[in-house]
A and B are shown apart, each in its own frame.
Chain A
Amino acid sequence: MDSFDLLLKGFVEVFKWQDMIALVIGLCVGMAVSVLPGLGLVMGVVLALPFTYSMSLETSIILLTAIYMSGTYAGCYTAILYKIPGEPMDVPLLWDGWGMTMRGEAAKALGWALVAALIGGLVSSAVMVSLAGPLSRLALSFGAPEYFAAVFFGLTTVVALAGKSLPNALISMCIGLLISTIGIDSTYGSERFTFGSDVLLNGVPFVMVLVGMYGFGEILDKIGQGSKSITLPAVGSTATSLPSWSELWGLRATFARSTAIGTLLGLIPGAGATISSFVSYGIERQYGKRGRQIGTGIPEGIVAPQIASTASVAGHMVPLLTLGLPGSGATAVILAAFLLHGVQPGPFMLKNPESAQIVYTILASMFVSVIGMCLLGFVWIRLVIKVLKVPQGILIAVIALFALIGAFADRNSMSDLWIVVVFGVIAWIMERVKLPVAPMVLGAILGPIAEDSFTRSMITFHDDWTVFFQSPISAVLMLLSLVSLVFPMIKSALQSRRRSRQVTLVEAAISANSG
């Protein structure tokens, strides 16, 4: 059966009642968490994860993907209407969106955001669906060295894009990788770093690491910020007014550019919706026809970031489904959902007709999610925005309990709850000392895959380290990994030197003037 037939069948599956209910719930949850400042879409996906235990694999991934997709969109409402960015990715939207609202064009601004999300989501999903087959065929040719190189590339790009300090990001990644080694080793069956504890014999469950770091850690962060009541400015209407065809045609270059940026950046591990949104806004400002006016309240400033952030979702989902590699926090949680159901996503899923159908159903659900979130946004957003009026104390309490009892629901184990709390506190401390959380989480999740492919490579090729540079695919991936690590260091050194030169010049000028 070819890809198109599988996709069509996938659409039929999505419209079955279980999947459709999961999709609608996912869209609503994603919208709710993305309008709340400080609660990210990753947290929404994490909180939903424990509730997927009893669902089928297909339904659970559809639920989580819907949260992820709508989480990139609904924040535009609060950014445009109230100047409150629900997510960091909504910040560029705010600059022009709020400008249009101040001129009384809020409905128009919301219309542009809706069309941008719709086009960005649909086009990038279509591009990625067409790439799924070739990508998985390529991945099937991967041996252990190529697979290790791919995981290594994923980890290094996440490190390179994770924060201001590359060493701190590397430290965070190493800690995550070390956490993944705790427990009984799969090759030799020997205990590693268990310190005599029975609880650690089975390793640290990565779901608890995720719930702790992204769920409970965020709750502590919110509490630490103190209670801030949000007062919503009076806005005449929250209605959406769609742009005309001629207006859309006028912005065709912006649409094309931003969709391409979002989709391509989505393919790069670590470059999530936020980076896509900022890069697209920056490129539009630099190369757009009205680039100089961006920031004053023009549609290009809304379209470029919105389209790129929504387009990045498909860009992240397809490498996950075809290679088994998550490139962002949200896709790491989705990978966790796969593993909880005993399925390792990757190229073999497309070889088996049954699992191939699941993959294409998930891909079909992305199209339905894009359309669904735009429809919901159009008719239901007034209710979603009311979430902002719920007192923060109640929200925190509810979310904390969902995180804790959701984690407990997995195995009815109190030790899992302790792990959640410990990792929540660790995440909070890491945020304080500027250690990025994402590399540690991805390290903990990708660690077993990296170790397995590394061990197999070393055993098969008799400890020959050059094996990672022998095949063209692994060599290219390893070189790209090294470039992604070295480039930020060179860039930082050059910036430092330039700044040093500027200061010397200023000092010389001051001393000349005073002389």
Chain B
Amino acid sequence: MLDSSDNAPMPGNADSGSSMSAAKWLADFGPYVFIICVGIGLYYIADQISYAAVPGQMGPERWPKIIIGMLIAVCGFEIVRRIAVARRGSAASTQADDTDGGFSQQMEAHPLLVAGASAATVAYLLLLDICGFFVATVLYLGCVMWLGGIRRPIFVSLMSVVLSFAFSFFFMKLIYVALPLGEGPFAKISLVVMTLVGVR
């Protein structure tokens, strides 16, 4: 669902009912159709759950099947309702449709920053075992601070190192978490850091 100020034809608009673009249709109905398809797939998988059946007793597939059935029913209901609203075609129904949300997309001011932060986190998880907690955390903190709007390289570098030391102390020394040490030379760095924060 688009913003009410958008000039694109709305599903509830009588003039636009037939001229609804494919993109608009996809945005309005696509997610519900997608969920129905996934639901059908999951229902099939639930049907294949193997167990030793006890006569007269419900099996482990019943509960997930009920939920999947409800999920499909809700999506089906919503698709039918949306089609009915579009067919009714009054401006009022368009407004009503606007207010109920649907799968309207509300984009961030900076979606690339979110993608960057997600990528940085994935990289951090991949690096943890190789570089160890300290080195990986220095890199990750620097990256997140940069994405968070601090654009002073020296300050970011210093803060990353200081915070990584603080976190190493907190997690290793105070709450005894066995954090990854890393491999090869990184393991040596981790051991030095552990000595510095007082972990033997």
Q: Is the CB of A191 within 8 A of B49?
A: yes
B 32-75 binary contact with A (CB < 8 Å = 1; else 0): 00010000001001100111100011111111100110110011
Interface of B is mostly: helix
> Nearest chain B CB to A255's CB is how many angstroms away?
35
A 473-501 binary contact with B (CB < 8 Å = 1; else 0): 00000000000000000001001100111
Q: List residues of chain B with CB within 8 A of the CB of A495.
A: 96
B 83-107 binary contact with A (CB < 8 Å = 1; else 0): 0000000111101100111111111
Q: Is the CB of B46 within 8 A of A192?
A: yes
Q: Is the CB of B57 within 8 A of A393?
A: no
Which B residues from 118 to 150 make CB contacts under 8 A with A? 118, 121-122, 124-125, 128-129, 133, 137, 140-141, 144-150
Q: Is the CB of B57 within 8 A of A499?
A: no
Q: Is the CB of A181 within 8 A of B67?
A: yes
Q: Is the CB of B144 within 8 A of A174?
A: no
Q: Is the CB of B106 within 8 A of A434?
A: yes
Q: Report Cα–Cα, A451/B167, bound state, in Å.
A: 40
**Is A296's beta carbon under 8 Å from chain B?**
no
Q: List residues of chain A with CB within 8 A of the CB of B163.
A: 394, 397-398, 401
Name which of A39-47, A361-369, A414-422 contacts chain B: A414-422
With both beta carbons as reference points, the residue of chain A lying nearest to B150 in the complex is identified as A393
**Is A513's beta carbon under 8 Å from chain B?**
no
> Nearest chain B CB to A346's CB is how many angstroms away?
21
**Is B77's beta carbon under 8 Å from chain A?**
yes
- Contact (A392, B110) CB under 8 Å given A167-B74, A397-B141, A504-B92: no
Q: Is the CB of B177 within 8 A of A412?
A: yes
Q: List residues of chain A with CB within 8 A of the CB of B6.
A: none
**Is A185's beta carbon under 8 Å from chain B?**
yes
Q: Is the CB of A435 within 8 A of B103?
A: yes
**Is B178's beta carbon under 8 Å from chain A?**
yes
Q: Is the CB of B179 within 8 A of A405?
A: yes
Q: List residues of chain B with CB within 8 A of the CB of A201.
A: none
Q: List residues of chain B with CB within 8 A of the CB of A248.
A: none
- Contact (A405, B177) CB under 8 Å given A164-B100, A191-B49, A434-B104: yes
Q: Is the CB of B159 within 8 A of A175?
A: no
- Contact (A393, B145) CB under 8 Å given A220-B114, A421-B122: yes
Q: Is the CB of B45 within 8 A of A226?
A: no
> Nearest chain B CB to A482's CB is how many angstroms away?
14
**Is A246's beta carbon under 8 Å from chain B?**
no
Q: Is the CB of B113 within 8 A of A224?
A: yes
Q: Is the CB of A165 within 8 A of B92?
A: no
Q: List residues of chain A with CB within 8 A of the CB of B59.
A: 188
**Is A458's beta carbon under 8 Å from chain B?**
yes
A 146-172 binary contact with B (CB < 8 Å = 1; else 0): 000000000000000001110110110
Q: Is the CB of B175 within 8 A of A392?
A: no
Which B residues from 158 to 179 make CB contacts under 8 A with A? 159-160, 163, 167, 171, 175-179
**Is B109's beta carbon under 8 Å from chain A?**
yes
With both beta carbons as reference points, the residue of chain B lying nearest to A507 in the complex is identified as B91
Q: Is the CB of B148 within 8 A of A396?
A: yes
Q: List residues of chain A with CB within 8 A of the CB of B129.
A: 414
> Nearest chain A CB to B72's CB is how many angstroms away?
9
Q: Is the CB of A392 within 8 A of B149?
A: yes
Q: List residues of chain A with CB within 8 A of the CB of B122.
A: 421
> Nearest chain A CB to B118's CB is how many angstroms away?
6
Q: Is the CB of B149 within 8 A of A393?
A: yes
- Contact (A175, B71) CB under 8 Å given A401-B167, A499-B96, A500-B93: yes
With both beta carbons as reference points, the residue of chain B lying nearest to A396 in the complex is identified as B148
Q: Is the CB of B159 within 8 A of A502?
A: no
> Nearest chain A CB to B194's CB is how many angstroms away?
15
A 205-245 binary contact with B (CB < 8 Å = 1; else 0): 00000000000100111111111010000000000000000
Which A residues from 375 to 405 make CB contacts under 8 A with B? 391-398, 400-401, 404-405
- Contact (A190, B51) CB under 8 Å given A165-B101, A223-B114, A414-B129: yes
Q: List residues of chain A with CB within 8 A of the CB of B118.
A: 220, 421, 425
**Is A455's beta carbon under 8 Å from chain B?**
yes
Which listed residue, A392, A434, A459, A500, touches B103 by the CB 8 Å rule?
A434
Specify which of B67, B108, B124 lies most central, judged by the most chain A CB atoms within 10 Å of its CB: B67
Q: Is the CB of A394 within 8 A of B117?
A: no
**Is A503's beta carbon under 8 Å from chain B?**
yes
**Is B31's beta carbon under 8 Å from chain A?**
yes
- Contact (A181, B63) CB under 8 Å given A168-B103, A193-B45, A425-B118: yes
**Is B184's beta carbon under 8 Å from chain A?**
no
Ranked 10 nearest A-B pairs via Cβ: A227-B149, A393-B148, A500-B92, A224-B108, A496-B96, A393-B150, A185-B60, A165-B101, A174-B71, A190-B51
16 contacts between A and B (CB under 8 A): A163-B101, A170-B74, A174-B70, A178-B71, A219-B117, A223-B117, A225-B110, A226-B109, A227-B150, A397-B144, A400-B144, A434-B103, A434-B106, A496-B93, A500-B92, A502-B92
Interface residues of A (CB under 8 A from B): 51, 54, 163-165, 167-168, 170-171, 174-175, 177-178, 181, 185, 187-193, 216, 219-227, 229, 391-398, 400-401, 404-405, 408-409, 412, 414, 417-418, 421, 424-425, 428, 431-435, 451, 454-455, 458-459, 462-463, 492, 495-496, 499-504
Interface residues of B (CB under 8 A from A): 31, 35, 42, 45-46, 49-52, 56-64, 67-68, 70-71, 74-75, 77-78, 81, 90-93, 95-96, 99-111, 113-114, 116-118, 121-122, 124-125, 128-129, 133, 137, 140-141, 144-150, 156, 159-160, 163, 167, 171, 175-179
Given A171-B74, A393-B156, 9 extra CB contacts under 8 A: A54-B175, A167-B77, A226-B110, A393-B147, A394-B148, A396-B148, A412-B177, A421-B118, A492-B100
